Amino acid sequence: RDMLAHRLARTGRQISVGQYAMTIVGITLLVGFTLASTTPIGIVASLFVGLLIGTALPHMVVGRMGKRRVAAFVGLFPEAIDLMVRALRSGLPISEAIIGAGREIGNPIGAELGRVEAGLRMGRDLERLLWDIANRIDVPEFRFFIIALSVQRETGGNLAETLANLADVLRRRRQMRAKVRAMSSETRMTTMILAGMPVLVIVLLTLSSPNYLVPLFSDIRGFLLDGLALVMLATGVGIMTKMARFEI
């Protein structure tokens, strides 16, 4: 439950675990009864397919929303640090620099730093507020930022120069990540095609010859073959996805 709540929080939307569960139930019933009324595969098999789609679709949508928001956060973060550096060089404290950057930068950074401003008004500790964002967003770039602030608080030094160097490092990481993504694009496209072909074949066979697939959804041996095919497909997609993913 905590892991699901964390995934929902990464989207930046007010989505509760209960709403997520109700969405799964709704999609499952909708797909299940639609298949049962339009195909000859039976109510049990229809609900099983509906459960698969109802579980997978919200999971994919939430994951996509979270990744898109995190990517936007990482893309804007060097510019937010630049705003903080300019504020520090003009003589403002780090708390005011963070608040000012949150007001000037766009979302999602603006929204997250706005929470810091609200927390500071309530008397909460700045570092604790920043760690709350780090746990919610879960990107190493923001943790680098918090660690830089913590080290500077303990040892002293020129914080503006430290953050300027950090912004430069983050821009280089972003450029390297873009290069790696371009290099792995062929593998990712192959994965999408191989994962989508079985679904396309099933849809075409269902439309052209509905009775052809009935044994796969009405006999215990068909269910076993369905399960084996899903496991093999998921394993292959997982391996290829892992091959196309590089940590930078």
Write the pLDDT tens digit of every residue in 23-50. 999 999 998 888 888 777 778 878 888 8
Taking the C-alpha atoms of residue 50 and residue 207, their distance in angstroms, rounded to an integer, is 18
Q: 78, 74, 248, 73: which is closest to 177 by C-alpha?
A: 248
Taking the C-alpha atoms of residue 240 and residue 175, their distance in angstroms, rounded to an integer, is 24
Write the pLDDT tens digit of every residue in 176-213. 888 877 777 777 788 888 888 888 888 888 778 878 87
Q: Is the pLDDT of residue 225 over 70?
A: yes
Give the pLDDT of residue 163: 93
For the entire predicted model, the pTM comes to: 0.73
Would you say the C-alpha torsion 186, 191, 192, 196 has a positive or negative sign?
positive
Q: Output the CA torsion 90→92→97→103 (10° steps).
A: -80
Give the pLDDT of residue 86: 94
Spell out the residues 6+ positions from residue 112 whose beta carbon is closer than 8 angstroms to its own. Answer: 73, 102, 133, 136, 137
SS3 138: coil
The dotted CATH code for 70-172 is 1.20.81
Give whole-number Cα distances, 217 to 55, 221, 225, in Å.
Answer: 19, 9, 10
Give the pLDDT of residue 147: 92
Domain ranges of the chain: 70-172, 184-248
Lowest-confidence region among 10-19, 110-119, 140-149, 214-223: 214-223
Taking the C-alpha atoms of residue 15 and residue 12, their distance in angstroms, rounded to an integer, is 9
